[in-house]
């Protein structure tokens, strides 16, 4: 998926599965100020008619500069993003994630944050993320929403698989998520077979 800048004469809605402001390449191309909103389905609504905005395009018009999409994400769901190949710019990274994703994190410019520190919202704001992922139990959602589009994911109503797929939809990586889940299920099936071989499943009636 590629995006290019364009002048729009009217307000329009674009059905994207990507949250974007920063455009990758040599250096960065970005808006002077963010002009978008996010609804619960993951659609991005661009406003402010006549300003320079982004939209999905398959055009190859001569002289039009194209830029590859890159994500700048603050994440409470660090492991999910890393599994999808998306490295957040600021995240909570515990020792397990540090070990498991060592090769992906080495050399990456990821700022770690302690969610218990009182000033971490300021750190998030300074990082200028395009998207914030957090739990729906977070007490200061309005503050996060003032910083960037925020998706608060339910821990109680969504299974971990549903949460993973939702995150994948937000960063345009559903295919990768399904592949990862397929590999995970294969490992679970293999582990189950190995355990069944090692554990004696003979039933004993202790009443006799």
Domain with residue 119: its CATH number is 3.40.50.1980
Domain check: are 79 and 17 in the same one?
no
What's the confidence (pLDDT) of residue 176? 93
Tokens of 99: 């070990």
Residue 88 and residue 158 in one domain: yes
Residue 44 and residue 142 share a domain: no
Confirm if 2 and 57 have CB atoms less than 8 A apart.
Answer: yes
| Structure-token pair, residue 130 | 């395009």
Residue 98 within any structural domain of the chain:
yes
Contact status, residue 154 vs residue 138, Cβ threshold 8 Å = no
- Same domain? For 54 and 77 the reply is no
Residue 205 domain-assigned (yes or no): no
- Ranges of the chain whose pLDDT falls below 50: 1-72, 74, 116-118, 208
Rounded to whole angstroms, the Cα distance separating 192 from 152 reads 34
Task: Tell me which of 16, 49, 70 is where a domain ends.
Answer: 70
User: What confidence score (pLDDT) does residue 200 get?
Assistant: 62
Number of domains the chain is built from: 2
Residue 78 and residue 173 in one domain: yes
Together in a domain, 109 and 43: no
Query: Does a structural domain hold residue 203?
Result: no
In terms of Cβ atoms closer than 10 Å to its own Cβ (0-12, 13-18, 19+), residue 78 is buried
- Domain hosting residue 49, numbered range: 1-70
> CB neighbours of 134 closer than 8 A, spacing ≥ 6?
76, 141, 144, 150, 151, 152, 153
Residue 197 lies in a domain: no
Check residue 205 and give its pLDDT: 55
Q: Are residues 79 and 176 in the same domain?
A: yes
Tell whether 51 and 79 lie within a shared domain.
no
Residue 2 shares a structural domain with residue 49: yes
CA dihedral of residues 18, 84, 66, 46 (deg, nearest 10): 10
Whether residues 63 and 79 fall in one domain: no
The pLDDT value recorded for residue 178 is 95
pLDDT number for residue 198: 73
Within a domain: 9 = yes
Residue 206 has what pLDDT? 52
Whole-model pTM: value is: 0.55
- Residues 65, 123, single domain; the answer is no
Judge if 165 and 146 occupy the same domain. Answer: yes
């Amino acid at each position: 998926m590629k995006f290019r800048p364009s002048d729009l004469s009217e307000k329009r809605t674009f059905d994207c599965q990507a949250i974007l402001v920063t455009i990758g390449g040599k250096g960065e191309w970005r808006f002077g100020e963010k002009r978008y909103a996010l609804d619960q389905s993951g659609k991005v609504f661009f406003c402010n008619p006549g300003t320079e905005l982004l939209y999905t395009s398959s055009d190859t018009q001569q002289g039009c500069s194209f830029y590859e999409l890159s994500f700048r994400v603050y994440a409470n769901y660090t492991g999910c993003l890393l599994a999808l190949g998306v490295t957040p710019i600021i995240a909570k990274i515990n020792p397990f994630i540090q070990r498991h994703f060592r090769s992906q994190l080495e050399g990456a410019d990821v700022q770690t944050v302690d969610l218990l520190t009182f000033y971490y919202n300021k750190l998030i704001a300074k990082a200028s993320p395009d998207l914030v992922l957090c739990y729906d139990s977070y007490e200061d959602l309005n503050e996060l929403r003032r910083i960037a589009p925020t998706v608060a994911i339910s821990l109680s109503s969504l299974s971990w698989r549903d949460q993973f797929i939702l995150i994948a939809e937000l960063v345009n990586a559903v295919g990768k998520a399904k592949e990862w889940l397929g590999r995970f299920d294969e490992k679970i099936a293999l582990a189950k077979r190995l355990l069944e071989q090692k554990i004696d499943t003979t039933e004993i009636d202790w009443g006799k």
